[in-house]
Structure 1
Amino acid sequence: MTVAAVTGTVTALIPNPIFTRMVDAPWWAYPTWITSAVLSGLLIATYAQPSPRHPQSERRSIAGAALSFLAVGCPTCNKLVLLALGTNGALTWFGPVQPVLAIGSLALLGYALHARLRLATSCPATAQRQ
């Protein structure tokens, strides 16, 4: 819930007085935002139980979260994109790439969650009952 609230507020998918979007959000931004928030929440929950460290899944989860933020954000509101490409470049180059970033972010988050769950051990209380 926290991931959804923070990402939705900063990218102005949730209307708020602090952040505004210069370009309307496309239809696919909302399902991407919710799906990435669910995957991120499940991924964060896997860290509640100690498990063997898997640095690749940690890197994938961070990259997936960053890509999902870039994918659902306003192309002209991202200062790094504006500095690199300018307003015209943000709309003509970065905007059309955002759906690809969305797919990549969901794939990375899903793969990181799969890797974390594969390495997870069973709950000690459940293991004792068997």
Structure 2
Amino acid sequence: MTSSPGPLSSWPQTAVLAVHALRAWKMPQVGAAAGAAVAFGLLLGLATVLIPNPVFARDIPPVWWNYPVWVLTSLLSGMLFATYVRPSFVPSDDRVGDGPTADAGERRSGRLGMAGGMLAWFAVGCPVCNKLALLALGYSGAITWFAPVQPFLAVGALLLTGAALLWRLRGQIACPVPGREKEKVR
């Protein structure tokens, strides 16, 4: 493992580290990514009625971009889930992700991933079936104000989930180096 680039590291370097991490994945990570992507896709697809079902209803039909956002968010979320699966080559006493710095990074990437999933749900869901939008804006307000914002929510969902995935993948290759504590001057 190499030391991690700083917090303002370049995106190309992060992308290269992410590709290296993906190449190192074994069957446990690939299987977890596939399973989680299917599970997330089913959950999001059924709840937003992108997959027609008798349990949920949708007043306004989906638009063309709902489907690619749904699939991409499912794939990114599945891959993000797989980053939490322990690689088989890491000894149990030398775990990746130990320490307070790693915990903060895991929380941050977990929050980004969760926010991306929630934004995807708001983005691909029916604008008038969303109870929060309906309560806040009313039926006509949800159509007039919330529906035009949904594509931006979709872009935000993809960016947040993608950033969380890149962050986690980068951390599998490059570990953060803890900074030295400042000495107290007396």
Would you call these one fold, judging by a TM-score over 0.5?
yes
Determine which of 164, 167, 172 is the counterpart of 1:112.
164
Equivalent residue, structure 2, for 1:2: 39
Determine which of 25, 40, 61 is the counterpart of 2:62.
25
Equivalent residue, structure 2, for 1:88: 140
Paired with 2:153 and 2:128, the residues of 1 have a C-alpha distance of 16
Is 103-112 or 48-57 further displaced after alignment? 48-57
Report SS of the residue matched to 2:56.
coil
Q: CA deviation at 1:118?
A: 0.6
- One-letter amino acid of the structure 1 residue matched with residue 134 of structure 2: L
When normalised by structure 1's length, the TM-score is: 0.90
Determine which of 105, 114, 125 is the counterpart of 1:73.
125
Gaps of 5+ in 2: 1-37, 87-95, 175-186
When normalised by structure 2's length, the TM-score is: 0.64
Equivalent residue, structure 1, for 2:150: 98
Report SS of the residue matched to 1:76.
coil
Q: CA deviation at 1:56?
A: 1.8
Gaps of 5+ in 1: 123-130
Report the number of matched residues: 122
Equivalent residue, structure 2, for 1:125: none
Report SS of the residue matched to 1:112.
helix
Is 17-26 or 53-62 further displaced after alignment? 53-62
Determine which of 92, 109, 116 is the counterpart of 1:64.
116
Paired with 2:129 and 2:75, the residues of 1 have a C-alpha distance of 24
Structure that is richer in helix per residue: 1
